[in-house]
Amino acid sequence: MSLTPTGRRVAVAALTAALLVPLAACSSNDDPEKGTGGSTASGSAGAAPKAHLTVLAAASLTDVFKTAGAAYEKSHPGTKITFSFAGSQELVAQVSQGAPADVLVTADTKSMDKVKADTGTPTVIARNRLVIATGEGNPHKVAGLKDLADPKLKVVLAAPEVPAGKYSKKILDAQKITVKPVSQEPNVRAVLSKVELGEADAGLVYKTDAESAEDKVDAVDIPDGQNAIATYPAAALKDSGSAAAAAAFVSWLSSPEGQKILQDAGFQKP
């Protein structure tokens, strides 16, 4: 007999708990007894969250969502947010397996479409574009996409099933450029890390990723005519135990406050 959505949640909760990365900006005096489903624990006012949201978000949103989460908690007293960052394909797998979560944000619409039966109507909250990340000072003088075909250059890309990998393949194929990467990573932040650590000479990442590590890598712009635009849809999950709070967070991401945080981090308007 197949499990109900509730049953699936219980079955996978233990497996997915370790993947959930607590929001770094959370207050140090958080009540250890976290409220669920919008309930409030006994005690003084504000001692426990009115809603504790779990947000599954694409790895490229790691830095900006920590800032956004802190801002949201400040303007919405009693709400706490826990983020789980990973490649969009991993997040979609978690949702499909019934992972307990409230909001999903992916780095492409195709990933979101795979779980449309589990989400509300998605809202595009931002866009992004690719750049070539190189070591600081661009020691190998990478000037454009064609240089990535140099067999002497150690290039790392996101895996083909990852949105950043799909976008990378699209632009390389369009220019008829063949790249033999030394590795294919599970998410775009892993690509960036390889370049930061000097384990790769160059890699294709989002502009915002390169800007988040501007003291460690250089970014080589890709002309608009050769580039691809990444789209970030956000949606509340139908099985959320805090449906109203989840929908409110998704809506806030499109608000002037949410958009300013995203655009200050280098993301483009939806």
65/33 same-domain check: yes
Query: pLDDT at residue 116 above 80?
Result: yes
CB 232 within 8 A of CB 105: yes
pLDDT at residue 42 tops 70: no
Q: How many domains, in total, are found in the chain? A: 2
Supply the range of the domain harboring residue 16: 5-127+231-264
Q: Which residue has the higher pLDDT, 70 or 6?
A: 70
Question: pLDDT, tens digit, for every residue of 137-148?
Answer: 999 999 999 999
pLDDT at 36: 38
pTM beyond cutoff 0.85: no
Is 269 a domain residue?
Answer: no
Do residue 212 and residue 255 come from a single domain? no
Outline where DSSP puts E strands in the chain.
Answer: 51-58, 79-86, 103-105, 123-135, 155-158, 183-185, 202-206, 217-221, 229-236
Give the β-pairing of 79-86 and 103-105. Answer: unpaired
pLDDT digits (tens, 9 = 90+) for 154-202: 999 999 999 999 999 999 999 999 999 999 999 999 999 999 999 999 9
128, two tokens: 């992004």
Are 110 and 12 in a shared domain? Answer: yes
In a domain, 270, yes or no: no
Decide: helix, strand or coil at residue 163. helix
Q: What is the mean pLDDT of the chain?
A: 86
Instruction: Please check whether residues 117 and 9 belong to one and the same domain.
Output: yes
Q: How many CB atoms neighbour CB 202 within 10 A?
A: 28
Q: Are residues 137 and 179 in the same domain?
A: yes
Residues 19 and 139 in one domain: no
Based on the domain organization, do 200 and 81 belong to the same domain?
A: no
49 pLDDT band, cuts 50/70/90, is low
